[in-house]
Structure 1
Amino acid sequence: MRGILELSALFLGSTALVAASSTAAFAQEAQRRSYDLPAQPLAQSIRAVAAATGRSIVAPTELLGDRQAPALKGMFSVEEALGRLLAASGLRARRSGAAFVITAAEPHALEAPVEAQQEITVTGSRIRGAPVASTVIQVTREEARNAGQATLAEIARSLPQNFGGGQNPGVGFNVPETNGADVGGGASINLRGLGGDATLTLLNGHRLSYNAAKQSVDISVIPLGAVSRIDVVPDGASALFGSDAVAGVVNILLRRDLKGVETSARLGAATDGGGFSQTYGATAGTNWGSGNALLAYEYGSTDAILARQRDYAATRSPGLTLFPAQRRHSVLGSAEQDLAPGVRLAIDGLFNKRWTNLTYPLAAGGDLTVARGRTTSTARSFGVSPSLSWSFPADWNTTLSATYGEDRVDYGGYSFQGGVLSVNTGGYYVNRARSIELASTGRLFALPGGPAKLAIGAGHRQIDFRRFTGVNGTQNIDQSQADTYGFGELSLPLVSPDQSIPLVRSLVLSAAVRYEAYRRIGDVATPKLGLVYAPASDFTFKASWGKSFRAPTLYQQYQPQTLYLTRTSTVGGQGYPASATALLLLGGNPDLKPERSTNWSATIEVRPRFLPGANLELGYFSVRYRDRIVTPIPSLSTALRDAGYASFVTLNPDGAEQASTIAGASVFTNLTGGTAYNPANVVALVRNTSVNAGRQSVHGIDALLRYAGTLGGGMVTASANAAYLESEQQIGPALPVTQLAGILFNPPHLRLRGDLGWSVGGVTITANVTRIGSVTDNRTAPSVRIPGMTPVDLTLRYRGDSGLLRGFDLIASVQNLFNAKPSPIATSLFYDTPYDSTNYSPLGRFVSLSVSRKW
């Protein structure tokens, strides 16, 4: 367990030697290459190995120091080459995926081979060191800093596979609730646009408590200074991790090897006004012979962006706040300690507090002195995840882990109209998460391609949700949900490179299954199969197939049902007498079942021998989502006019059915404007509560490219990440299929990010270009095309290694260099955001300066 955690948090030091990052299959033996290196500084020899093999080799400058490397001549794999170069240095190479990290060697391990030392954290598998049959996207903290990014939320927004809808700050009031909302200012990851509640987000492999009402995880609570890297597996993973992993899993891995103290500060501002940002942090770490510890603190504040500060919004939405003002404090601690030989205790903990507020107009013209509303929120969250692990012979490891977390969002505000100030009563959301798990992983028996490995485990998890709207409030909720589960995963390496089988260099099969028993909502079993096949050293084919699921949220199940008496015209009635009325039922549904999906993917990875340092992945994915939880009638004005909604409408309900519906509702409200309720006048009962009625199909292509080499005495790196998406939805069998991808407030068909960097000495220059595709506004006929955005970023970084600037890390960055702006959309209300706030940002050109120092 100790090695797993050490390699899950790579220490990327003040100056790193970085070559291409690759997601090559872990079971493959590295290709041998010819070397003829003289005795020279160790840093130069490591750089030469990185350029020759295309592998990432990360080495802190303070570790390499003035060490010299011996001459290296002959044919070696990357492991052998590093072993010879480091043999007498007191250092060792640890492997994480296809990358290597140079760390200080423990005295008893100086002569140990690299393969014996490796303990690999793989987000896409529960088995240490197992190859992953899905695409794995990694973003390291150093890559983020090279791009001028300072928070996890900024990193998430830059991922092409992520959608800005769901729970995220800045989502406008005119975005449909199913596509996004901002409650409390938290930031979530929403892979493929399937929902933040369909993306499982982990911290060091542990679950966190949910945020607000959407059952998503707030990543903004985690200080970037504590993070080593972020792993993204955009493929269904419920067979490994359970509910919420329909779209994939994101694992945020912490640093373990930091020694000393790092302090940092970043100031930034938008050149068009607003968005002034301050981020200050301090991270301290230490290592001793039997353990390590890390403590990180981060303070951040961001000023609001107002409509009057943007020319595309000033006259169209006067008085509106486009992005809320926020400030926050975040603390994270992590530690490990050997209690006895083979026994290790680890613990991770975090705390966050955030304040958010925004103002919006309540009258045409946007004059806030005449009429305005203001919402405020305070979010507090904490979590702790202890674990105890035992190492046994035959590479078996058993871990007992637990998690407790709590997230609370208090909200309130006021409205000012007609000279009268009205204070909103407000309320709060509380989410709690508790879990315990016992899991083991290790070798079973020998196969021609290596040892068969198994991971098994079982656990129990409970989540609690409370919504409070006031004493005896009709919309209060206080519910919990528990499940008990067991899982198993098997990795079978059938062929290895040393067998020299033509056209089968390596072949690994994998299988996993998970069974969960949910109190009140039933049992779920989810399998997954995987294949990793390499016909030659240049090519690897990966394929996976599996089932995933998402349990209904407690809000979806237990939101109190509200019954309205309304005029028939409100629900699409035509030709009825003036006295005719309709009953409209809204709210949750305690009988909801889990949403289910079938996922499969196929990927080809190319590492051409003729172009060392290059790596290309091209993958196809498909998600078929059924039993989606929906409010079945998205437009109430069509309820009685569209025959497709007939199953949700009861015409001429009798008195007994009306009485039963009234008795079951928490609130019965008359919206007719004066017509009294008379059962004889009710011509229709419309039920628009949450149901398992929808299906959704998502498929597309991911393309990942990385290259690293030498240029002009320095190192050049290039990468590209493109995601093409098609998706459609059908709410009910009698209703039409509607397109989602490429439609307003949904993900565009195409998102692309490209990066080009050059490093020499302590200087790194990085250029980034992002393409966010266009969408179509289909709210009117004819539809209107909304052009996309193409922001370009430029970042200059200098890491001092001598003189007065020794230990300093300076970053100057301009995000959106050419000030690309979102295209306007039609609005109907004075507080509507005048652009697609789920896909495009109002920030504009943003200039920042960061200074950090190692002590």
Structure 2
Amino acid sequence: MGLLRKAALVASITTSLTIFILTAPGTHAQGAVVQGPAVHHYHLPVQSLAASLQEVALASGVSVGVASGLVADHRAPALEGDFTPQAALVALLAGSGLHARQLGNGLVIEADEVRGGSSARPGEGDPAILVTGSRIRGAPVASPVITLDQSAMREAGATSLGDVMRDLPQSFGGGQNPGIGINVPTASGTNVGGASTINLRGLGSDATLTLLNGHRLAYNGTRQGIDLSALPFGIIDRVEVVADGASALYGSDAVAGVANILLKRDYQGLETSANIGASTDGGNFRQQYGAVAGRKWASGGFVAAYEYASNTNIMSNSRAYAVSRPGVIIFPAMRHHAAALSGHQSLTDTLTLEVDALFNKRWSLGGYATNNAGDWSLSHADTRSTSRSGAIAPSLKWDLPHGWRLSLAGVYGTETVTLYNGIFTGANLTSSASGCYCNTGSSVELAGDGRLFTLPAGPAKLAMGGGYRYNSLQLFRAAGSASNIDASQDSFYAYGEVSLPLIAPQQGVRGIDRLNLSGAVRYERYPGVASVATPKLGIIYAPFEDMTIKGSWGRSFRAPTLFQQYSAQSVILYPVTSLGGTGYPSGSTAMLLTGGNPSLRPERAETWTASLEYRPHQLPGLHLQLGYFSTIYKDRIVTPITYTAQSLTNPLYASLVSLSPGSAAASAASGNPLLFTNLTGAAFDPARVVAIVNGTSLNAGRQTIHGIDMLADYRTRLGKDGGQLTMLGNIAYLSSSQQLLPGAVGAALAGTLFNPPHWRGRGSISWSSGAITLNATTSYIGGVEDTRFNPRVKISGMVTQDMTARYAFGPKSGILRGTTLSLSVQNLFDSHPATIATTAYYDTAYDSTNYSPVGRYIGMGVTRAW
């Protein structure tokens, strides 16, 4: 396997270096340049649509015709960036009920009702666009796709992709994310190094596949998530989220779905930004400074970005709901440098080189006072981390005859989190420990897609490919430590996907406007673990132009993480009462086994979705979507003991407990003395051990997840000079339960402490007119139940309101031309989490997986396009 790993690395480095050689001035013939539509930079304020159309025509030299009076009552939104004439008109006409049509060498503006066929839908009809959820360019996707673009994020006051994804109702704040408390069960969340990851449906950061421009990246920490904060916020164009199983297309980890982060392309110019703000309850002083620069030329272009950001910590003492455990840092102090680059260059008429690269370095500091008074000057423990990540992803794309494209792509990335834990008495360091979570990932893939044959409804298309992936984890705690890990995993895969348009609008079939079938299958082999084949089927049916019904069924899988397999098994000796035991003789003890399991099997899931989309032509700009999903997740890898204090009392754990173990206790303790911990305060006596509890990772019986997504999007203009109104809504309902072992009684997950709530929702209304944009957003996170007690304790949810105002100076504003000022207030009424019961001085006194401690946050920003 070493030869293959080296080949993947060499392919990545070789193709990335090619960009410097072949794109240097004079290295390729002028005749080899592909001449596409001219791209121009536009800086248009909110104004009449007629004025914006005239400026596009003047800047591009393309004739733009419009019928008299057709645009008289319309206003155009602000337009900033680099666009072809067609793309500029699409942006200006969005939600207006108008569209642009090619006519000879020019463009003509028409009302939507005169257009033949079905209305344009995202990702459909353009043979050059690859939408997340399919490996075929221009193919419609049978799974619902949620798109979050840069402008909408900024209008809502966001400056961090991690915050954006945690606000998404389909996502969950558990898994690997900053601010996760120590009292959160490992299965629900943790914080190693301050990384932000996506956790769709609460199935785990390791069950959500995160891509960058379609590429995999190196994992972060131990949970196989991808760190969102590694990217400068300004370079992000949009994020496409498919909350549906997609292993048939993308392989392991895509059980809950896929999130594809797409970077800006063909950016021209320079934009700088600065943001500053703080929480009114104290702490969380944030600064963010960034720059995005790009250049476009006839045969290629690039965009590069840099960002520096920092925030101070939030102490429990400053929050009334958390002060019961004073001296705890409930949100860590962090700072980071992030840089990213994306470029493309035509090497010949048919061959294009593309490269994406990123680098990030982040520092994080958390900790807690080690006394009930919460006094750091007496004693405290802190955790310092330094994270470094980097990746390079070059690819070659070769356009072949008959619409086919062949691509060769390579990725090499690293993610290193170095931890340092110190325990202090006063100012004196009394003990310390350090370690490193070092991940490496590389891959190489050869893929192609294009037309198979032509059906009456359109071309049948095929995508196929294969490749090799390599991941490694080195977990280093101390020289010679028995808990160190040095493990790696290879995988080989091949896939195929087909898209068949059976009926199209031009055929005039009664009761069927469009009908499309799709299918995919992927085979993946993990030497020494398993081989898995995962299929997926999809159908898109439109009974008439305004309505689309979609359905999908598929199987997905997730290979066990290297940490889950090879984490060292340890033995902890407790007083039996600490594990919930009662009625035993004084001095009785119990053992808890923890750690990895090299015999773990891949997790397997079966998912189906159904959705209904409605775009009424009577009300242009309105898009409604209702979706249902169901997932049966088998062989789920879990750490079975959620709450240690219930080990001997919870009937769910009965099959994991060995009573009266006798000599087995002595064997377990002597197996590796370096990993034996005695917490009883007395000498170890095997005769006093009354129980052994197996808390090592195992394949659980099954999880059942189902729910409903409701989304609404409405964009319209409020008459003459009334501005543009945009209303967005997203409501998600989730129900999930877990059967720990075959035959065991199922237990609820969703709606319980440290798991996703049943209901989440987010709605916004945005109005723009002239230079002003105003946005109001309301978010709801439902309540949960604390199942640690009988009877259960209800924990109330949170409702927050955010307000954002932006003012963009126009082209006649002198030195302020191109400047945008913003003011945002998040959580306007200072809503806060409910307090939960705690048992230790380091516990976070609220559900830190669901509710934010930030409170009311006031931020200001300035952006300048140069």
Pairwise TM-score range, normalised by the shorter structure: 0.7 to 0.9
Partner of 2:746: 737
Structure 2 counterpart of 1:593, one-letter code: R
Structure 2 counterpart of 1:137, one-letter code: I
C-alpha distance in structure 1 between counterparts of 2:782 and 2:35, whole Å: 39
Which residues of 2 match residues 153-164 of structure 1 at below 5 A?
153-164=162-173
| Change over 3 Å in CA distance of 1:419–1:387 after alignment to 2 | closer
Aligned to 1:495, which of 496, 500, 503? Answer: 503
Which residues of 2 match residues 485-634 of structure 1 at below 5 A?
485-571=493-579, 573=581, 576=584, 582-634=590-642
Does the alignment pair 1:120 with 2:153? no
C-alpha distance in structure 1 between counterparts of 2:334 and 2:646, whole Å: 40
Are 1:565 and 1:671, in contact at CA under 8 Å, matched by a contact in 2? yes
Partner of 2:822: 811
Partner of 2:208: 199
C-alpha distance in structure 2 between counterparts of 1:49 and 1:321, whole Å: 62
Does the alignment pair 1:827 with 2:838? yes
C-alpha distance in structure 1 between counterparts of 2:533 and 2:602, whole Å: 11
Shift of 1:645: 4.0
Partner of 1:72: none
Structure 2 counterpart of 1:442, one-letter code: G
Shift of 1:51: 9.9
**Gapped runs of 5+ residues in structure 1?**
20-34, 70-75, 90-96, 102-113
C-alpha distance in structure 1 between counterparts of 2:425 and 2:66, whole Å: 68
Which residues of 2 match residues 95-106 of structure 1 at below 5 A?
98=120
Shift of 1:155: 1.2
Shift of 1:339: 1.1
Structure 1 counterpart of 2:413, one-letter code: G
Moved more, 250-259 or 787-796: 787-796
Moved more, 774-783 or 755-764: 774-783
Superposed CA offset, 1:544-591 (max 9, x none): 000011111111100111124455545555555557655432211001
Does the alignment pair 1:759 with 2:768? yes
> What secondary structure sits across from 1:409 in the alignment?
strand
Are 1:15 and 1:762, in contact at CA under 8 Å, matched by a contact in 2? no
Moved more, 192-201 or 669-678: 669-678
Partner of 1:297: 306
| Change over 3 Å in CA distance of 1:313–1:436 after alignment to 2 | same
Moved more, 601-610 or 575-584: 575-584
> What secondary structure sits across from 1:156 in the alignment?
helix
> What secondary structure sits across from 1:144 in the alignment?
helix
Shift of 1:273: 1.8
> What secondary structure sits across from 1:459 in the alignment?
strand
Superposed CA offset, 1:361-415 (max 9, x none): 1111212211211111111100000101111011100100011110001111322
| Change over 3 Å in CA distance of 1:59–1:589 after alignment to 2 | same
Are 1:51 and 1:612, in contact at CA under 8 Å, matched by a contact in 2? no
Partner of 2:447: 439
Aligned to 1:236, which of 240, 245, 264? Answer: 245
Partner of 1:847: 858
| Change over 3 Å in CA distance of 1:787–1:651 after alignment to 2 | closer
Are 1:629 and 1:694, in contact at CA under 8 Å, matched by a contact in 2? no
Superposed CA offset, 1:400-437 (max 9, x none): 00111100011113222377532412111101101000
C-alpha distance in structure 1 between counterparts of 2:382 and 2:622, whole Å: 52
Shift of 1:844: 1.3
| Change over 3 Å in CA distance of 1:151–1:49 after alignment to 2 | farther
Does the alignment pair 1:177 with 2:186? yes
Does the alignment pair 1:648 with 2:662? no
Partner of 1:778: 787
> What secondary structure sits across from 2:636 in the alignment?
strand
Structure 2 counterpart of 1:612, one-letter code: P
Identical-pair percentage: 47
C-alpha distance in structure 1 between counterparts of 2:572 and 2:35, whole Å: 58
Are 1:162 and 1:191, in contact at CA under 8 Å, matched by a contact in 2? yes
Partner of 1:687: 694
Structure 1 counterpart of 2:700, one-letter code: A
Shift of 1:829: 1.7
| Change over 3 Å in CA distance of 1:569–1:813 after alignment to 2 | closer
| Change over 3 Å in CA distance of 1:635–1:790 after alignment to 2 | closer
Are 1:319 and 1:368, in contact at CA under 8 Å, matched by a contact in 2? yes
Does the alignment pair 1:264 with 2:273? yes
> What secondary structure sits across from 1:721 in the alignment?
strand
| Change over 3 Å in CA distance of 1:98–1:747 after alignment to 2 | farther
C-alpha distance in structure 2 between counterparts of 1:646 and 1:826, whole Å: 26
Structure 2 counterpart of 1:808, one-letter code: T
Structure 2 counterpart of 1:839, one-letter code: N
Partner of 1:700: 707
Which residues of 2 match residues 348-359 of structure 1 at below 5 A?
348-359=356-367
Partner of 2:319: 310
C-alpha distance in structure 1 between counterparts of 2:421 and 2:646, whole Å: 34
C-alpha distance in structure 1 between counterparts of 2:826 and 2:314, whole Å: 16
Does the alignment pair 1:429 with 2:437? yes
Shift of 1:319: 1.6
Structure 2 counterpart of 1:297, one-letter code: Y
Are 1:560 and 1:665, in contact at CA under 8 Å, matched by a contact in 2? no
Shift of 1:604: 0.3
C-alpha distance in structure 1 between counterparts of 2:836 and 2:67, whole Å: 51
Structure 2 counterpart of 1:142, one-letter code: S
> What secondary structure sits across from 2:564 in the alignment?
helix
Moved more, 371-380 or 575-584: 575-584
Superposed CA offset, 1:261-297 (max 9, x none): 1111111111222111111001110111111111100
Does the alignment pair 1:83 with 2:102? yes
Superposed CA offset, 1:63-94 (max 9, x none): 699x999xxxxxx9976x332498169xxxxx
C-alpha distance in structure 1 between counterparts of 2:842 and 2:581, whole Å: 29
Are 1:51 and 1:709, in contact at CA under 8 Å, matched by a contact in 2? no
Moved more, 579-588 or 376-385: 579-588
Structure 1 counterpart of 2:443, one-letter code: S
What TM-score do you get using the length of structure 2 for normalisation? 0.87
C-alpha distance in structure 2 between counterparts of 1:165 and 1:301, whole Å: 22
> What secondary structure sits across from 1:83 in the alignment?
strand
| Change over 3 Å in CA distance of 1:637–1:272 after alignment to 2 | closer
Superposed CA offset, 1:803-832 (max 9, x none): 222111221111112221222222222221
Which residues of 2 match residues 715-730 of structure 1 at below 5 A?
715-730=724-739
Does the alignment pair 1:343 with 2:351? yes
> What secondary structure sits across from 1:452 in the alignment?
strand
**Gapped runs of 5+ residues in structure 2?**
1-18, 20-33, 58-63, 90-95, 109-118
Moved more, 819-828 or 510-519: 819-828
Superposed CA offset, 1:725-744 (max 9, x none): 11111111243211111111
Superposed CA offset, 1:10-35 (max 9, x none): 9997558899xxxxxxxxxxxxxxx9
Aligned to 2:675, which of 667, 679, 687? Answer: 667
Which residues of 2 match residues 47-86 of structure 1 at below 5 A?
60=80, 81-84=100-103
Are 2:614 and 2:623, in contact at CA under 8 Å, matched by a contact in 1? yes
> What secondary structure sits across from 2:129 in the alignment?
coil
> What secondary structure sits across from 1:207 in the alignment?
coil
Which residues of 2 match residues 11-26 of structure 1 at below 5 A?
none
C-alpha distance in structure 2 between counterparts of 1:563 and 1:157, whole Å: 36
Does the alignment pair 1:367 with 2:386? no
C-alpha distance in structure 2 between counterparts of 1:46 and 1:633, whole Å: 68
| Change over 3 Å in CA distance of 1:309–1:579 after alignment to 2 | closer
Which residues of 2 match residues 271-420 of structure 1 at below 5 A?
271-314=280-323, 316-417=324-425, 420=428
Partner of 2:24: none
